[in-house]
């Protein structure tokens, strides 16, 4: 299938430090691609450049053939690229349902005037957003918590809410920054299953995750960064046996292991 997201020779420096240098890869619909690497390798910086948080100094990002390099996150969301953050960006004092509804509004270009005047078109949009948000909450197992204030959710449930909100933007490409961080084994498995389901519907998933078991289980393809550069890529089994990858992880306890089966 054709390429949906293409990252071409992208790079950025902070002061004298090349945080990401000359990194390229591409992503197809339904594919789960993980970016891994030791701490400080440049994974989050790469995400920030793809999602418009940082302007790359070098290289291009293309989304379905359109050059979207450095485009603002809200404009990217309207074009079908949405993301979650390493640190949750949930509205804590809003209900779970309102948080999910917010995702719909972030991806729409409705008329502010129509909304203020409560015109029929905006009422219909609000009804559609509410119904869609309820379906998504059902999907991520939070339907019973719809009216709960987000501040009262466990960490794992907040993570799922954040994914639901990103899905509300109806993305073609979904960037997930450490979706399993801080989650217990059961919560991680739920998130794992959810990601595989979303990909099976054709959404391309770009994942940054430290949980190597999860990465090895669900990824079709892995890109390995070290000191801002791509040092390897391939399927999970190939990458985990690559001597450059093993060397990069030496001295850390987060190395990928070849024993983990890839089920994608
Ligand atoms: N805004 C910034 N200003 C200056 N340096 C930065 C900035 N953001 C990241 N860096 C540096 O760029 C390098 C890459 O950082 P980045 O956070 O992208 O790595 P990472 O692979 O996501 O790390 P981790 O796994 O620990 O989250 C690091 O040396 C980091 O200190």
What's the 250 CA to ligand 1 centre distance in angstroms?
Answer: 19
Residue 207 in contact with ligand 1 by CB distance below 6 A:
no
Residue 258 in contact with ligand 1 by CB distance below 6 A:
no
Instruction: Please work out, in degrees rounded to the nearest 5, the angle formed at the alpha carbon of residue 127 by the alpha carbons of 126 and 128.
Output: 90
Residue 48 in contact with ligand 1 by CB distance below 6 A:
no
ipTM for the predicted complex comes to: 0.96
Please, is 163 exposed, middle or buried when counting C-beta atoms within 10 Å of its C-beta (0-12, 13-18, 19+)? buried
pLDDT of residue 118: 67
pLDDT of 121 above 90: no
The ranges assigned to domains in the chain are 1-80+171-264, 91-170
Q: DSSP H helical segments within the chain, as ranges?
A: 43-50, 73-79, 96-106, 112-116, 120-139, 155-168, 185-200, 212-218, 236-241, 243-249
Closest residue (by CA) to atom 8 of ligand 1? 45
What's the 108 CA to ligand 1 centre distance in angstroms?
Answer: 32
Please, is 253 exposed, middle or buried when counting C-beta atoms within 10 Å of its C-beta (0-12, 13-18, 19+)? exposed
pLDDT of residue 88: 64
What's the 49 CA to ligand 1 centre distance in angstroms?
Answer: 12
Probe target for ligand 1 pocket from 13, 36, 42, with the most ligand atoms within 8 Å of CB: 42
pLDDT of residue 264: 41
Instruction: Please work out, in degrees rounded to the nearest 5, the angle formed at the alpha carbon of residue 87 by the alpha carbons of 84 and 91.
Output: 75
Residues sharing a CB contact under 8 Å with residue 25, sequence separation 6 or more, in sequence order = 7, 33, 221, 223, 230, 233
Closest residue (by CA) to atom 31 of ligand 1? 40
Domain 1-80+171-264: which topology? Rossmann fold (3.40.50)
Residues sharing a CB contact under 8 Å with residue 207, sequence separation 6 or more, in sequence order = 32, 33, 34, 35, 175, 176, 179, 195, 215, 218, 219
Closest atom of ligand 1 relative to the 210 alpha carbon: 25
Closest residue (by CA) to atom 1 of ligand 1? 14
The tokens for 9 are 């020779």
Tell me the pLDDT tens digit for each residue of 138-195.
Answer: 888 898 999 999 999 988 888 889 888 888 888 999 999 988 888 888 888 888 999 9
Tell me the pLDDT tens digit for each residue of 209-222.
Answer: 988 999 999 999 99
Q: How far apart are CA 233 and CA 223, in angstroms?
A: 4
The tokens for 17 are 């430090």
pLDDT of residue 74: 84
């Amino acid at each position: 299938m054709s390429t949906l997201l293409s990252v071409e020779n992208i790079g950025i420096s902070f002061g004298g430090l090349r945080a990401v240098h000359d990194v390229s890869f591409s992503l197809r619909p339904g594919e789960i691609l993980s970016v891994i690497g030791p701490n400080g390798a440049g994974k989050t910086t790469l995400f920030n450049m793809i999602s418009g948080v940082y302007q790359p100094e070098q290289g291009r990002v293309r989304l379905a053939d359109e050059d979207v390099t450095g485009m603002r996150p809200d404009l990217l969301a309207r074009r079908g690229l949405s993301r979650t953050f390493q640190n949750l960006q949930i509205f804590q004092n809003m209900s779970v349902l309102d948080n999910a509804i917010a995702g719909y509004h972030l991806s729409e270009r409705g008329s502010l005037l129509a909304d203020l005047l409560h015109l029929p078109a905006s009422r219909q949009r609000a009804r559609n957003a509410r119904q869609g948000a309820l379906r998504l909450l059902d999907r991520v197992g939070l339907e019973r918590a719809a009216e709960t204030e987000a501040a009262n959710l466990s960490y794992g449930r907040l993570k799922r809410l954040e994914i639901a909100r990103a899905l509300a933007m109806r993305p073609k490409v979904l960037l997930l920054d450490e979706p399993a961080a801080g989650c217990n084994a059961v919560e991680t498995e739920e998130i794992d299953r959810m990601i595989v389901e979303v990909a099976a519907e054709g959404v391309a998933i770009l994942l940054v995750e430290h949980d190597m078991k999860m990465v090895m289980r669900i990824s079709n393809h892995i890109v390995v960064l070290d000191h801002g550069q791509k040092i390897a890529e391939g399927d999970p089994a190939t990458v985990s046996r690559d001597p450059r990858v093993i060397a990069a992880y030496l001295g850390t306890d987060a190395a990928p292991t070849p024993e983990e089966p890839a089920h994608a």
